[in-house]
């Protein structure tokens, strides 16, 4: 859990903003949302694999190479 010390003569709202920023960097809220409900191991693997594919596609589109067609399978 991120901790923020209140500095001398520092307004509360400034310290609160600093605390929110440290929580965001630590990923506290995203982890809490992720753990809110139980996720089966297979669902977690599928989610992570889909995220990896999405990252890869984004990386390809940024480099300008474009997405390639998957090989194999039925065409039509």
- What are the backbone dihedrals phi and psi of residue 75, each rounded to the nearest 5 degrees, phi first? -110, 145
User: Is pLDDT above 80 for 56?
Assistant: yes
Q: How confident is the model at residue 19 (pLDDT cuts 50, 70, 90)?
A: very high
57: DSSP letter: H
Q: How confident is the model at residue 1 (pLDDT cuts 50, 70, 90)?
A: confident
State both tokens at 72: 């194999």
């Amino acid at each position: 859990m991120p901790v923020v010390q209140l500095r001398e003569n520092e307004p509360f709202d400034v310290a609160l903003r600093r605390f929110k920023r440290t929580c965001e960097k630590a990923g506290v809220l995203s982890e809490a949302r992720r753990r809110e409900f139980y996720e089966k191991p297979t669902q977690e693997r599928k989610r992570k694999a889909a995220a990896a594919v999405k990252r890869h596609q984004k990386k390809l589109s940024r480099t300008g190479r474009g997405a390639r067609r998957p090989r194999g399978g039925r065409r039509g």
